[in-house]
Structure 1
Amino acid sequence: MKLTLCLSLTFLSLSACAISAAEVDFAKDIAPILETNCVSCHSGDEPDGDFTLTTKELTFESGSGEAVIPGSPEDSMLYSLTILEKDDDMLMPPKRSGGPLPKESTDLIKKWIEEGANWPEGMELKAREKVMPKVATADDMELIKKIHAKIVAQSEKEKKATDSYKNTIPITEVDYEMIAIPGGKFVMGSPEGEELRRPEEGPQTSVEVSPFWMGKCEVTWDEYEPFMITQVDRRKDGSRIDYDTTKHTIVDAVSQPTPPYTEMSFGMGQHGYPAISMTQHAANKYCQWLSAQTGHFYRLPTEAEWEYACRAGTETAYSFGDDPDKLKEFGWFYDNANEKYQKVGLKKPNPWGLHDMHGNVMEWCADQYVPDYFAKIKDSTKNPFIKPTTLYPRSVRGGGWDDDPDRLRSAARRGSDASWKQQDPQLPKSVWYHTNAQQLGFRIVRPVEIPTPEEMYFYWNSAKDVY
């Protein structure tokens, strides 16, 4: 009898240990899920959906007290929102941030709530960077070689045409215009006596630039938005999840942006207005997408090409002279833009027919931004290009709608900054959007000389974040 009782007690003890061992440990099992997938968007002064997931008190108070209801996972929004369909706007985390969560994660959250939602007192959650899995993508060197072959074939058909032209984007039937820029030499940078000159604008250097075409205007939302917003499931790097070589084209294979996390025109206007707030990588990929459709090689201008085209043969502070009082005739800036960008092409063009080179939106260039640019290029002044090696800073030219006149001068330079992504709630932050840079846009160039596939690959991928 005593032996039987001992065995029974031992069995009960082992069972109790097994049950205890099976209980969900918040710090070990739940906190990593929330910190990796949810806290970056659900923290701070303006958390998504008014859900704050940093402390027990704030979490349990969220959703009018329905975020976590101990013992009832189906009634707890922290669980019920994680098991919605992937296209549901309420899904947590949303598809753009890697949602939905794996079933094993949602099962753990469910079990944790069923067991009473124990959250150790004083434990505060902090966002962790989410390491995305490496995946194969169709947007690789093999794709670039196919696009390169199409560009070469198209060039042979056109027999080295060099005139300005209007073209139509095949997929969207939106028109854009390219101005032929003749090659030549010019003095790059500003003279020491130029009013409000900055040290990084010199010393002035004679530079030679090969011929190219440049966009008559900045790229507009009409051109850019169909590239930015698609109804295609994409990984965070922009590659199609469903890519199939038997049914998709080389255009389909180009990485395109994941859905934006806010309305990207910020209410300033869309039809006819310049596209804004894209990363340099997004601008590069737009160039690749356009190239794959048209059979013309497009990219961002180098700093030298941009300033050469902006000056259009002039040597003054602006392409129209030195008098900033005339700027209102040629550009949008702080004094006349009414605190927003304006439609492209409304102001007078420069002598070569390019609009909005001074103001409206700042424009991406292809170079790494370095303060000592002129020292770097002094031994290589033909088609100079500071090849990027780091994501920040990258070069930006032209000044924008919120700038003073000195930032709109032909020689004015500045570099990009990681703070331009400050509002981005995602970890890692998006490779596509610079929400805090609402003055930022771009225009495209097309060099007459077709580069190699390797050079194309670098231009279109030099600003890609590594996951």
Structure 2
Amino acid sequence: MIRTLKVSAQLLSYLSIACWSVTAVAAKVDFEKEIAPILEMNCVSCHSGDEPEADFNLTTKELTMDSGSGEGLVPGDPDSSSIYTLAILERTDDMLMPPLRTGGPLTKPQTELLRAWIAEGADWPASRTLVAKPKPPGLFVSVDDFELVLKIHKKIVEQAEKEAGEPKDYQNKIPATQVDYRMVAVPGGEFLMGSPDGEELRHDDEGPQTKVEVDPFWIGKYEVTWDEYEPFMITQVDRRKDGGRIDYDGAKHTMVDAVSQPTPPYTEMSFGMGQRGYPAISMTQHAANKYCQWLSAQTGHFYRLPTEAEWEYACRAGTNTAYSFGDDPELLKQYAWFYDNANEKYQKVGLKKPNPWGLHDMHGNVMEWTADQYVPDYFKKLAELGKNPYVKPTTLYARTARGGGWDDDPDRLRSAARRGSDASWKIQDPQLPKSVWYHTNATQLGFRIVRPVEIPSPEEMYFYWNSARDVY
């Protein structure tokens, strides 16, 4: 009797498992929760509108079925449906959907969901139109993470131990390209930041003037040029939209290879204004930050964008006048490229007179990224920020740029002049979502690099290099 009961209990257990399995198999794929997100975040940005890529429109069920000579979607037959068969091609196949350049291929679970959904009859409400949506941050597992920053930090600390001594100007080569760049040692100190109420051409976001103290640092003698930046921007490597290498292999690639780098630009980024010796332009702050990380990983020196305070301190170079050479805008042509003399384009770096600390083009040529969030009441916050003030960014827009550019009037070139970035700087970008790497409409925008004497913590390094990554 006991043995019979045991057998019966065991049989009931098997039956329960079998019933659960049948129920699990019978559960239909939920279009709204499981299929729509795959298509909207990976495919619809290219396959929508009046001229969808390859005439393949995925916004409605009817249009999808009509695409691909009527084989875009064949309900009940995944192997005849291009929406599925193109998604399972080899990752290097030109027909892969989505392609490598836009973050493809889909994961295996995603393609299995597509297959199951089509096999079940491709339930898709007639009233549902798909709209392109950005992928949420962290969707990809990236090797450009905090662990990478720890490795770079270790290299920087070890390098600093070898180079102990008083900071001095230096010229260095980028190891990957052997291109020269020059850094100027800036002593720490106090200065009066902002402009006085009576300064001609003054803007409301430049005061009240406040005494600020900064630690010693090095700053680029020139704006970063295309010679330095383009090898970082153009790599001939297949990358996801986040800039990670598709083929990354920790066994054969270095930590420099692990740093995210830009995807190929969708237009020629100098816009015909010149490259060799000219300032690099139109990069997002994220791109500028990643260049700093890329350079740091190679050299063992920590580079980042200057803070607003560091930038103005270096620009003023001990002066308290509207410009580093005085108050007379008539002298600008000796020191800066701007609307009156730039001939509607940027010019080679270093052709104009430097400021008292030997820095060129702090006024004009291209406006320069700083690390700070742009806030109109910046000077009201300085008291609470203390020494080495830095307004840590919390949103993508606006971030601060300084110095004015080749198409600006003299008021924008003053030492205290400030400007906030804007989404319109990438309005011509045809991609959806917009590129994280390019501000195609900001042809006056560039940057120069800073290296603080005091090495920050790994956590601080990570924030500087990634503050504009997860908010796009």
TM-score, length of structure 2 as denominator length? 0.80
- Structure 1 position 383 matched with structure 2 position 379: no
Aligned position for 1:281: 286
Task: Quote the Cα distance in structure 1 between the aligned partners of 2:266 and 2:354.
Answer: 35
CA contact 1:431–1:465 (8 Å) conserved in 2: no
Structure 2 counterpart of 1:150: 155
Aligned equivalents of 1:48 and 1:34: distance in 2? 14
The Cα of 1:421 is off from its aligned counterpart by 2.7
Alpha carbons of structure 1 residues 288 and 27: separation in structure 2 relative to 1, 3 Å: closer
1:49 Cα deviation (Å)? 7.6
Q: Which residue of 2 aligns with 1:451?
A: 456
Equivalent residue number for residue 10 of structure 2: none
Indicate the residue corresponding to 2:18 in structure 1. none
1:290 aligns with 2:295: yes
Q: Which residue of 2 aligns with 1:372?
A: 377
Conservation of the 8 A alpha-carbon contact between 1:256 and 1:285: yes
Distance apart, 1:136 and its partner CA: 3.2
Contact 1:41 1:425 in 2 (8 A): no
Q: Which residue of 327, 333, 339 corresponds with 1:334?
A: 339
Deviation at 1:27, TM superposition (A): 10
Partner of 2:201: 196
Letter in 1 for 2:398: P
How many Å separate the matches in 2 of 1:78 and 1:244? 30
**By how many angstroms is 1:150 displaced?**
1.5
Structure 1 position 260, deviation (Å): 2.3
Q: Which moved more, 1:385-394 or 1:209-218?
A: 385-394
In structure 2, the CA distance between the partners of 1:197 and 1:108, relative to structure 1 (3 Å rule), is: same
Q: Is the 8 A contact 1:141 1:457 kept in 2?
A: yes
Q: Does the CA-based 8 Å contact 1:347-1:356 persist in structure 2?
A: yes
Matched residues in 2 for 1:337 and 1:49: separation?
Answer: 43
1:69 aligns with 2:60: no
Instruction: For residue 219 of structure 2, give the secondary structure of its aligned residue in structure 1.
Output: strand
Task: Give distance in 1, aligned partners of 2:369 and 2:463.
Answer: 16
Q: Tell me the distance in 2 between the aligned counterparts of 1:38 and 1:442.
A: 34
Q: For residues 72 and 418 of structure 1, what CA distance do their matches in structure 2 show?
A: 35
Contact 1:206 1:381 in 2 (8 A): no
Q: Give the CA RMSD over aligned residues.
A: 3.7
Query: Is 1:259 aligned to residue 264 of structure 2?
Result: yes
Alpha-carbon distance between aligned partners in 2 of 1:338 and 1:95, rounded to the nearest angstrom: 40
- Give the one of 440, 443, 450 matched to 2:445: 440
Number of paired residues? 440
Q: Is the 8 A contact 1:84 1:91 kept in 2?
A: yes
Q: CA deviation at 1:303?
A: 0.4
C-alpha change, 1:49 and 1:310, in structure 2 (3 Å) is farther
Q: Cα offset for 1:258?
A: 2.4
Aligned mate of 1:233, from 229, 238, 241 = 238
Is the CA contact 1:42–1:51 (under 8 Å) kept in the aligned structure 2?
A: yes
CA offset at residue 71 of structure 1?
5.8
Aligned to 1:160: 165
TM-score w.r.t. the length of structure 1 is 0.81
Structure-2 separation of matches of 1:403 and 1:53:
44
Give the direction of change, closer, same or farther, for the CA distance of 1:72–1:235 in structure 2 (3 Å limit): closer
Call closer, same or farther: CA 1:296–1:133 in 2, change over 3 Å.
closer
Alpha-carbon deviation of 1:466? 5.6
1:310 alignment partner, SS class:
helix
Q: Is residue 42–residue 50 contact of structure 1 (8 Å, CA) maintained in 2?
A: yes
Instruction: Give the aligned residue type for 2:439.
Output: H
Distance 1:27 1:186 in 2: 58
Q: Is the 8 A contact 2:56 2:68 kept in 1?
A: no
Q: What is the Cα deviation at residue 393 of structure 1? A: 1.3
1:177 equivalent in structure 2: 182
The AA in structure 2 aligned to 1:153 is E
Which segment is superposed worse, 326-335 or 95-104? 95-104
Shift of 1:391: 2.0
Deviations for 1:100-153, whole angstroms, at most 9, x for unmatched residues?
A: 5679869979x99xx9x9x99998653233447634332222222222222122
Equivalent AA in structure 2 for residue 399 of structure 1:
G
Deviation at 1:31, TM superposition (A): 7.5
Percent of aligned positions that are identical: 76
Residue 224 of structure 1 pairs with residue 229 of structure 2:
yes
Partner of 1:207: 212
User: What letter matches 1:294 in structure 2?
Assistant: T
Residues 441-450 or 48-57, more deviating? 48-57
3-state SS of paired residue (1:234) = coil
Gaps of 5+ in 1: 1-24, 61-65
Matches of 1:440 and 1:284, distance apart in 2: 14
CA distances 1:139-189 after superposition (whole Å, capped 9, x unpaired): 222222222222122122112241111000111101000011121211110
